[in-house]
A and B are shown apart, each in its own frame.
Chain A
Amino acid sequence: MKFRHFALGAAAAVLAGATTLTAVPVQAQDTIYVPLLTYRTGPFANSGIPIADGMHDYLRMLNERDGGIGGARIVVEECETGYDTKKGIECYESTKGKGPVVYNPYSTGITLQMIPKATADKIPVLSMAYGLSASAKGNIFPWIFNPPATYWDGASVFIRHVAEQSGGLDKLKGKKIGLIHLDAPFGKEPIALLEALGKKYGFELKLYPVAASDMQNQGSVWLNIRRDRPDWIYNQGWGAMNPTAVKEAAKNNFPMERLVGVWWAGGDDDARAGGDAAKGYKSLNFHAAGTNFPVIQDIQKHVVDKGLSKAPKEKVGENLYNRGVYNSMLIAEAVRTAQKITGKKAINSEDMRKGLEALDITPARLKEMGMDGFAAPVKLSCDDHNGHNKVYVAQWDGTKWVKGSEWMDPMKDDVMPLIDTAAADYAKSNNWPARSEACQKGS
């Protein structure tokens, strides 16, 4: 009996000790708390793992190399969502009391749920190139940021690419363009824009939804594609859907150079799955892949080589790993900007919003960060929380992603009116409060 009590006591002590050791400090002086909503498990883990690694490793590198950002160490806490909206909101609720400066939901479904919550709680949401396209309107969504481009920007760049390859926008008339997409909010996001562009330029849009339960069972979808014979296909896929789509395209002899994925369908594993036949597969991108950049080499030196990364060494520099690095760079630069504006080291979420609105990553700053040629400049403002920045088409050469086009501007003339309308509709239908936050001078 005594032993039983002793064992229970010991177990309780160990548990209490473990909790103390792993607990995240609540906004202590000179620390900045950044929760990362990630998914290393579940059907979307193949896409989620490299991004989580890249995000973690960049912030860890800043801690190791520079002692944090502007003298404040970054405290990172990952919360596993499994790409499940319910779990994502649980993560939000369980961490928001710890003084987070920003949330990265990493799921359009979670972002949609988080928009009203984070707005009420006054915590910025950085849904980097995902989420609600309309949230680019800073005058309506002061707490939501989605740089460097919206899904509508992406889809318009795809159409621009098709037009360039076909000999001009006028050549789009009569073409058949397919959209194979995950049957979820993320997958459906570009439909509105593609329908509008279809009406304007005279191409026919064919939709091929893939249910989450059938991501690895796409036989019927590709039969439909074989029947419809679309000239080009845009792939708004995620997780296990992407490698299967590439494999099916190869099996069905669909010309790979006419299959273009959104930036989330550009994982190395996505393309690799198709073997030699996947050569030529394209994906939109807004940063480079590879390790040939000082920033990635610093991560290797200060994090990976010291055994502080969860990423296997050979995965460092892959496309989605670099996506995570890019995402964390945006966080870090917004923190730096907020520190400059407020003069504080340990900024809070309201300061972070100001930092995000004043974000201005110039070519000179990119060079300073070891990202020359890695990404295009990004500038946000009080009104524009996206930037609608340039995007390029990357192409799989059989072993790695290479640049397949020049940087292209989105078709802003077509995208912006839709964003204005969608944002106004959202505000109207959700009884959305008018913006009360003042804009910073010059932002």
Chain B
Amino acid sequence: MHSLYMVLIDPFVQMVSAPDLFLQTIWEGLVAGVLYALIALGFVLIFKASGVFNFAQGMMVVFAGLTLIAFQDLGVPAPLALILAVGVMYLMAVTIERTVLRPLVNQPDIILFMATFGITYILIGVGEMIFGGEPKDVNTKAFMLPQGSLEIPAFGGFVQLQKIDIAAAIIAALMIGALAFFFQKTRIGRALRAVADSHKAALSVGISLNQIWVIVWFAAGIVALVAGIMWGARSNVSFALQVVALKALPVLILGGFTSIPGAIIGGLIIGIGEKIGEFYWGPLMGGGIESWLAYLIALGFLLFRPQGLFGEKIIERI
């Protein structure tokens, strides 16, 4: 009886008795969720255009962040370092398209998926060779990112908002909005959607598959760069960050692999869900449950919507 009370009642009693902590938990989940959504967006872009799950997306976040920091360490001013890092991500997109995607065109998706494993390990090796294994701090001052925190009194307690988290949430939201606009409203966006629907049909109306692939990998590279900066500013940029980036997986399961709104809503549900779960139910299970709770939430949703929240419902006649 006591156990049932602790699982079913006590967490809600805690939410009501300490609403400031509840709000704080929601805020932490929101910030994490927006960042997960941003990372998930990188996966969605590539999946939409090529049907490939890009396992290297997490490593691209690390690589992009470390590239930017390396330019700054060489004394390059922040705006120029940013432009150069974007340039490196463009070069990476072109290289991947030429050396990996183009030779593997028309191969089964699983081959392309395995190729992204290869890209991951090449990026790890090359990254460690160039940048070393130590974590690097993002120079937040150079990017005019705010420091410190705001303490907002609430319900007899307070909610602490880190200014860097507010900035991360705003920048990630703007980035997501811009990408959504780009891919929904522009010519290239329409071409991308055509490619996503059918490679053959897109080719027949003159859309260059190669060009589209470069564009989406480049866009995913920019998303990775922004995610690297924002997550790096919260802690630091290290090779451990690629594992955090894989938190986007349950977001994709939940939101659907092809939906930009799905990535956003999925990110928020996973972010907030795992923080609430860890905070209120984690102590009952010895803590540290958020690493698998995200998958539990995603799989729970799949029971009711196998295609994800916004994924396409595919009906095949057999």
Interface residues of A (CB under 8 A from B): 39-46, 48-49, 183, 207-217, 219-221, 223-224, 226-227, 239-240, 243-244, 247, 251-252, 269, 273
Contact assessment for B240 and A43 in the assembled complex, using a CB-CB cutoff below 8 Å: yes
> A227 CB to closest chain B CB, in angstroms?
6
Chain B 278-289, CB within 8 Å of chain A: the 1/0 string? 110011001110
Contact assessment for B278 and A251 in the assembled complex, using a CB-CB cutoff below 8 Å: no
How far, in whole Å, are A2 and B4 apart by their CA atoms in the complex?
A: 79
| Cβ-closest chain A residue relative to B151 | A253
With a cutoff of 8 Å between Cβ atoms, the chain A residues found around residue B31 in the complex are: 219
With a cutoff of 8 Å between Cβ atoms, the chain B residues found around residue A214 in the complex are: 244, 288, 290-291
| Cβ-closest chain B residue relative to A52 | B133
| Cβ-closest chain A residue relative to B288 | A209
Contact assessment for B240 and A216 in the assembled complex, using a CB-CB cutoff below 8 Å: yes
> B250 CB to closest chain A CB, in angstroms?
12
With a cutoff of 8 Å between Cβ atoms, the chain B residues found around residue A45 in the complex are: 128, 132-134, 238-239
How far, in whole Å, are A305 and B160 apart by their CA atoms in the complex?
A: 49
> B77 CB to closest chain A CB, in angstroms?
22
> B236 CB to closest chain A CB, in angstroms?
6
Task: Using A45-B134, A251-B149 as known contacts, list a sample of 18 further A-B pairs with CB atoms less than 8 Å apart, ordered by residue number in A.
Answer: A45-B239, A46-B133, A49-B134, A207-B287, A213-B243, A214-B291, A216-B238, A219-B28, A220-B28, A220-B282, A221-B287, A223-B24, A223-B275, A224-B278, A224-B279, A240-B235, A251-B160, A269-B134
Chain B 13-50, CB within 8 Å of chain A: the 1/0 string? 00000100100110010011000000000000000000
With a cutoff of 8 Å between Cβ atoms, the chain B residues found around residue A44 in the complex are: 240
How far, in whole Å, are A217 and B291 apart by their CA atoms in the complex?
A: 10
Interface hits, B161-205 → A, CB 8 Å: 162
How far, in whole Å, are A251 and B27 apart by their CA atoms in the complex?
A: 15
Contact assessment for B235 and A209 in the assembled complex, using a CB-CB cutoff below 8 Å: no
How far, in whole Å, are A262 and B231 apart by their CA atoms in the complex?
A: 26
With a cutoff of 8 Å between Cβ atoms, the chain A residues found around residue B24 in the complex are: 223, 226
How far, in whole Å, are A183 and B285 apart by their CA atoms in the complex?
A: 13
How far, in whole Å, are A39 and B133 apart by their CA atoms in the complex?
A: 9
How far, in whole Å, are A207 and B286 apart by their CA atoms in the complex?
A: 7
Contact assessment for B132 and A210 in the assembled complex, using a CB-CB cutoff below 8 Å: no
Say if the beta carbon of B137 comes within 8 Å of chain A.
yes
With a cutoff of 8 Å between Cβ atoms, the chain B residues found around residue A247 in the complex are: 235-236
Q: Given known contacts A42-B133, A46-B238, is B244 in contact with A183 (CB within 8 Å)?
A: no
With a cutoff of 8 Å between Cβ atoms, the chain A residues found around residue B18 in the complex are: 227
CB < 8 Å neighbour of A223 from B21, B135, B240: B21
Contact assessment for A224 and B244 in the assembled complex, using a CB-CB cutoff below 8 Å: no
How far, in whole Å, are A40 and B246 apart by their CA atoms in the complex?
A: 22
Number of interface residues of B (CB under 8 A): 39
| Cβ-closest chain B residue relative to A44 | B240
With a cutoff of 8 Å between Cβ atoms, the chain B residues found around residue A216 in the complex are: 231, 235-236, 238, 240-241, 244
| Cβ-closest chain A residue relative to B231 | A216
How far, in whole Å, are A214 and B247 apart by their CA atoms in the complex?
A: 9
Say if the beta carbon of B274 comes within 8 Å of chain A.
yes
Say if the beta carbon of B260 comes within 8 Å of chain A.
no
How far, in whole Å, are A183 and B286 apart by their CA atoms in the complex?
A: 11
| Cβ-closest chain B residue relative to A180 | B287
With a cutoff of 8 Å between Cβ atoms, the chain B residues found around residue A243 in the complex are: 135, 235-236
Q: Given known contacts A43-B239, A217-B244, is B137 in contact with A224 (CB within 8 Å)?
A: no
How far, in whole Å, are A224 and B24 apart by their CA atoms in the complex?
A: 11
Q: Given known contacts A41-B239, A211-B291, A215-B240, is B275 in contact with A220 (CB within 8 Å)?
A: yes
Contact assessment for A226 and B235 in the assembled complex, using a CB-CB cutoff below 8 Å: no
How far, in whole Å, are A215 and B247 apart by their CA atoms in the complex?
A: 13
Which of B24, B134, B278: most chain A Cβ within 10 A?
B134
Q: List 5 A-B contacts (CB under 8 A).
A: A211-B290, A213-B244, A216-B235, A224-B279, A227-B21
Say if the beta carbon of B124 comes within 8 Å of chain A.
yes
How far, in whole Å, are A208 and B108 apart by their CA atoms in the complex?
A: 44
How far, in whole Å, are A211 and B160 apart by their CA atoms in the complex?
A: 24
Contact assessment for A273 and B135 in the assembled complex, using a CB-CB cutoff below 8 Å: yes
> B233 CB to closest chain A CB, in angstroms?
11
In the A-B complex, list the 5 residue pairs whose CB atoms are closest, starting with the nearest. A45-B133, A43-B240, A209-B288, A240-B240, A220-B278
CB < 8 Å neighbour of B243 from A43, A251, A252: A43
| Cβ-closest chain B residue relative to A312 | B132
Contact assessment for A209 and B287 in the assembled complex, using a CB-CB cutoff below 8 Å: yes
With a cutoff of 8 Å between Cβ atoms, the chain A residues found around residue B278 in the complex are: 220-221, 223-224
With a cutoff of 8 Å between Cβ atoms, the chain B residues found around residue A49 in the complex are: 132-134
How far, in whole Å, are A178 and B238 apart by their CA atoms in the complex?
A: 26
How far, in whole Å, are A139 and B74 apart by their CA atoms in the complex?
A: 56
> A414 CB to closest chain B CB, in angstroms?
24
How far, in whole Å, are A220 and B27 apart by their CA atoms in the complex?
A: 11
| Cβ-closest chain B residue relative to A244 | B235
How far, in whole Å, are A219 and B247 apart by their CA atoms in the complex?
A: 14
Contact assessment for B240 and A239 in the assembled complex, using a CB-CB cutoff below 8 Å: yes
Which of B21, B31, B160, B240: most chain A Cβ within 10 A?
B240
How far, in whole Å, are A221 and B149 apart by their CA atoms in the complex?
A: 18
How far, in whole Å, are A240 and B62 apart by their CA atoms in the complex?
A: 13
How far, in whole Å, are A406 and B178 apart by their CA atoms in the complex?
A: 58
Contact assessment for B279 and A220 in the assembled complex, using a CB-CB cutoff below 8 Å: yes
How far, in whole Å, are A40 and B275 apart by their CA atoms in the complex?
A: 32
How far, in whole Å, are A397 and B286 apart by their CA atoms in the complex?
A: 34
Contact assessment for B134 and A251 in the assembled complex, using a CB-CB cutoff below 8 Å: no
Contact assessment for A224 and B235 in the assembled complex, using a CB-CB cutoff below 8 Å: no
| Cβ-closest chain B residue relative to A49 | B133
Contact assessment for B288 and A223 in the assembled complex, using a CB-CB cutoff below 8 Å: no
Contact assessment for B246 and A213 in the assembled complex, using a CB-CB cutoff below 8 Å: yes
> B116 CB to closest chain A CB, in angstroms?
19
How far, in whole Å, are A115 and B208 apart by their CA atoms in the complex?
A: 59
Chain B 210-237, CB within 8 Å of chain A: the 1/0 string? 0000000000000000000001000110
Q: Given known contacts A41-B128, A45-B128, is B239 in contact with A224 (CB within 8 Å)?
A: no
How far, in whole Å, are A243 and B283 apart by their CA atoms in the complex?
A: 24
Q: Given known contacts A40-B133, A217-B32, is B283 in contact with A224 (CB within 8 Å)?
A: yes
Which of A207, A214, A217: most chain B Cβ within 10 A?
A217
> B143 CB to closest chain A CB, in angstroms?
16
How far, in whole Å, are A285 and B272 apart by their CA atoms in the complex?
A: 39
With a cutoff of 8 Å between Cβ atoms, the chain A residues found around residue B28 in the complex are: 219-220, 223
Q: Given known contacts A211-B288, A219-B28, A219-B32, is B162 in contact with A251 (CB within 8 Å)?
A: yes
Contact assessment for B239 and A223 in the assembled complex, using a CB-CB cutoff below 8 Å: no
With a cutoff of 8 Å between Cβ atoms, the chain B residues found around residue A244 in the complex are: 235-236
